Structure 1
Amino acid sequence: METQADINYNRIAEAIEYIVVNFKSQPNIDEIAERLHISSSHFKRLFMEWAGTSPKKFLQYVSVEYAKKILKEEQATLFDTAYETGFSSTSRLHDLFVNIEGMTPAEYKNGGRNLAINYSFAESPFGSVIVASTNKGVCYMAFEDDEGKAFKNLTSQFPNAIFQRKLDLLQQNALFIFQNDWNKLNDIKLHLKGTDFQLKVWESLLKIPFGKLSTYGSIAQQIGNSKASRAVGTAIGSNPVAFLIPCHRVIQTSGTFGNYMWGGVRKAMIIGWEGTKSNP
């Protein structure tokens, strides 16, 4: 049964999609609210609640021209300097360094045999999420409104594991991020299944500062293989941990946001949300 939270999320998702498609015409609040069949005042309150900013500011941020502007100004040296020196605002995730422990070759090969995996469901500003963890760290996070489908996707990643629906401390520490609680960042650990190349790409994504964007080519250069943009794209598309490993911060060189495993509208929503949080 669809809850009020689901209805509200779907409304904001529809609004975000409309903004992304029609940003050049700069649609006003009344126009968007009319499409959602709600009053303008209700729409503004709802948008602020889910996106943390006004529809107008969100529209300004998610425009492709703004993304191009960021890319033009973000040279590699400045990018590296920004990451190394950090920012003063605690609302940024530049200092998020998730401890990554890759699974052993045997664990990788046998589909998680002998692994005990806890999983649970939660709500985020971007829809429902499923999060799963081993005793070493979070191994999976994905946006999915259908719990049955979410669990099926999880088990396909670890077909031989033992699953228990249980919220544990590792999951809780990860979910605190959605509440703007950065105090638990150092407690976040990941236990990932991937090749050495994938782990290297995923780790490089953690170096993209909160509220900033990078490109596939830039990531390829960072890992020491400037010609591997396509392989980098494939590795990013295989990211098993949504949001914590910020693959949503990687866009095309042209400035367009590009594909996202959990939907282009959701990607635009997350980019805009992070942008407004880092530039209040």
Structure 2
Amino acid sequence: MAGLVGKYAANKLLGSQMKKYQNKKVSGGDDPFFALVEDPKRPGKMKKVKKVIPAYIPEHDALILASVKKSAYRLDMCLFNLFGMRFGWESVIGIVPGFGDVVGVLLALSVWRKCQKVEGGLDSGTNTQMLLNIIIDFVVGLIPFLGDLADAAFKANTRNAALLERQLDKKYRPGGRDDRNVAGLDREKRQQNRKSGIYHPQDPPPATVFEDFDDEAEDRRQFMREQDAADRVRQPERTRVPTQQPQQQRSGGGGWLSKLTGGNAQGADSGRQQTGNVRR
């Protein structure tokens, strides 16, 4: 149940962004949001799918990964295409000489610091590679115009999001490292597919599950069913206490209401009877 909650919460965080940009073209194999897969219903055709976070990533780290992917897409890809490359806010800010490059580094460092918050932190190799990506991005961006194009092509934040995915996949995937064999795909073919952004439906990148755009509603319904079932287990039924039947009130007794109504009426009737006996 905990894994399902983590998956649902993290992918809900990404949902609005994916819906906003679902008409954008897929930008290579490291696109944080989307991928192209071979359509099993139409041989030789491709279909666009969403990259969602699998249930085996714990909730805390799943939410961090979702936030990193969201930031990477905004900074590197969310705006427009030019010369076959995708541009985001960092590329636009980098146009301003000097100042733009400094702001770009600060934004990249904020994404890197977010990655540090995963459980246990980053391993030394991943951490070094992320910082090296940021340094290369900054140095290349200092070159006027051509540097901005190279910066847009390099996409340090997107690379770092992919590095985080690989670390979390290696850490949490059931059975350890992903060594599955997909029929008809050798290692070289898989690498080519991932670089181009075209995948086999059963061969997603690390820490990723492919989901069709019309699967979101069913995923939400499944989450609610699982949550309701867990709530019924956690909340036992209340013990029913037998209700005692009130005892019959004795003549002349009862509460204040009977004293004001029945009790007084009985007293009055008794008084009238006694008066009648005396007169007789």
- TM-score, normalized by the shorter chain, greater than 0.5: no
Structure richer in strand, relative to its length? 1
TM range (shorter): under 0.3
Q: What's the TM-score once normalised by structure 2's chain length?
A: 0.26
Q: What's the TM-score once normalised by structure 1's chain length?
A: 0.26
